[in-house]
Structures are given as C-alpha cells and as structure tokens.
C-alpha cells in the first residue's frame, strides 16, 4: 500500500484490504495497482464503481428508449422532482445547461415532456413529464434499481447502512469543497 494512501486513512489499520482482492481483478496487475496502490484511492474507486453502474444502465436506456444520458437525466429529474424548470435540472445534475437544453428539446419532440411558460415570468418554462414520458422512465426504472441492488448485494445490511451514512456525510459536506484547484481563486465573486 502506498504511503499517501496510508496517510489518507490516518494510519488506521491500513493495508488490511489487500488480501481481499478477487482473482479476476488481481490478475490484471495495472488495474490492481490503480485500485490498491493509488494515492487517490477514494476517487479512483468512486469512478470505477460509477462506471460499472453507468455503462450498463445508460447502455440499456439507449437500447430501450433511444435516449442519451442527458436526455434521460431530464426525464429522471422530472420523474423524481415533479414539474421543474430547466435551471433546476441543471443545478441538480451538474450537466451544462446547453446540453440539457438540447436534451429537453429532444424529449419534447418525442412527446415525453411538455413545457409551460410561466405567466408571471415569461422567461421561466416549467417542464413536466407526459404520460409517455412517465411510461418511458418506468420502463427502465426496475432495471436500474435491480442493477444497484446487484451491486450492493455483496454488502451486509449493516455495511449498506454504514455506506449510506458515510456517503450522506460526504455529500452534505460537498458544499465546502473547492470547485477549482490551483491559483487559490476563491469561490466568492469579487
């Protein structure tokens, strides 16, 4: 285990996970070192795991619905949050607004969402799912949940809870993290 990794764990019984390496992963030595000898162990595993969710799920969405990831992000956002403005979707997803604007147009073309201009504020457009859009989401929702279930089934219920709590803490703290590095530029405007 790398020094930086040991330090990142604050000396807390670091290295205990070495023997757990599965054979099919261990035999790829470069993957092995990137997973277990990486000073950025956290972010690499994060990306690695995210990849193993996103690739199958968005591949499936593409096959089944003919939608790209930003397209589906719009639908999923409206599905979870109800009628929302595009800016809401932007803020909650991290995608750039032009990308989501295009995506919204596309799912609108396909009759999956409807738009309603706010009478009070002519700029604001409220987006909401149509029946067809809701149906599209529900067509893939079960598989998404199932994929996540499969991913988590290697954990005990206690571990799942622990994971949920720890990720919660991280997400909650994320507001404090810098959005850009170097040059010490503050988050506040001038």
Partner DNA sequence: TTTATTCGGTTCCATAGGGAACAAAAAACA
Partner DNA sequence: TGTTTTTTGTTCCCTATGGAACCGAATAAA
Dump the DSSP string for 82-96. Answer: -SEEHHHHHHHH---
Collapsed DSSP state (helix, strand, coil) of residue 10? coil
Q: Please report how close the Cβ of residue 179 comes to DNA at its closest, in angstroms.
A: 12
138 binds a copy of itself (CB under 8 A): no
Query: Which CB atom, from 52 or from 97, has the smaller least distance to DNA?
Result: 97
Tell me whether residue 56 is exposed, middle or buried, using C-beta atoms within 10 angstroms of its C-beta: 0 to 12, 13 to 18, 19 or more: middle
What is the C-alpha R_g of the chain?
21
Per DSSP, the three-state class of 21 is coil
Residue closer to a copy of itself (CB basis): 111 or 178: 178
Q: Give the three-class secondary structure for 20.
A: helix
Q: Which one of the spans 58-66, 99-107, 114-122, 123-131 is the region binding a copy of itself (CB under 8 A)? A: 58-66
Q: x/- binding map, residues 125-144, to DNA, per CB under 7 A?
A: x-------------------
* Per CB under 7 A, 70 contacts DNA: yes
Q: Smallest gap, in angstroms, from Cβ of residue 1 to DNA?
A: 28
Q: Choose the contact partner of 97 out of DNA, a copy of itself, none; CB within 5 to 8 A by kind.
A: DNA
- Tell whether residue 105 is a contact of a copy of itself (CB under 8 A): no
Contact letters for DNA, residues 95-124 (x by CB under 7 A): xxxxx-xx-xx--------------xxxxx
Buried b / exposed e across 109-119, counting CB within 10 Å, b at 16+? ebebbeeeeee
Q: Which of 118, 138, 165, 187 binds a copy of itself (CB under 8 A)?
A: 165
Sole residue written with tokens 């810098």: 178
First-to-last CA distance in the chain? 43
Residues at the site binding DNA, with contacts judged by CB under 7 A:
68-70, 85-87, 95-99, 101-102, 104-105, 120-125
């Amino acid at each position: 285990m790398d020094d930086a990794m040991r330090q990142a764990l604050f000396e807390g019984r670091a290295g205990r996970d070495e023997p757990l390496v599965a054979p099919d992963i261990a035999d790829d030595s470069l993957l092995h070192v990137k997973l277990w000898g990486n000073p950025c162990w956290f972010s690499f595993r994060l990306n690695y795991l995210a990849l193993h969710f996103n690739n199958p799920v968005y591949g499936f969405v593409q096959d089944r619905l003919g939608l790209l990831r930003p397209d589906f992000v719009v639908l999923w956002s409206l599905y979870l949050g109800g009628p929302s403005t595009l800016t809401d979707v932007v803020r909650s997803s991290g995608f750039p607004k032009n990308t989501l604007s295009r995506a919204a147009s596309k799912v609108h073309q396909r009759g999956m969402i409807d738009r309603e201009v706010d009478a009070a504020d002519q700029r604001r457009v409220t987006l909401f799912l149509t029946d067809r859009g809701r149906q599209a989401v529900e067509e893939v929702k079960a598989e998404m949940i199932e994929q996540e279930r499969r991913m988590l089934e290697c954990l005990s219920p206690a571990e799942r809870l622990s994971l949920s709590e720890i990720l919660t803490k991280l997400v909650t703290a994320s507001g404090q993290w810098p959005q850009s590095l170097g040059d010490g530029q503050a988050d506040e405007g001038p």
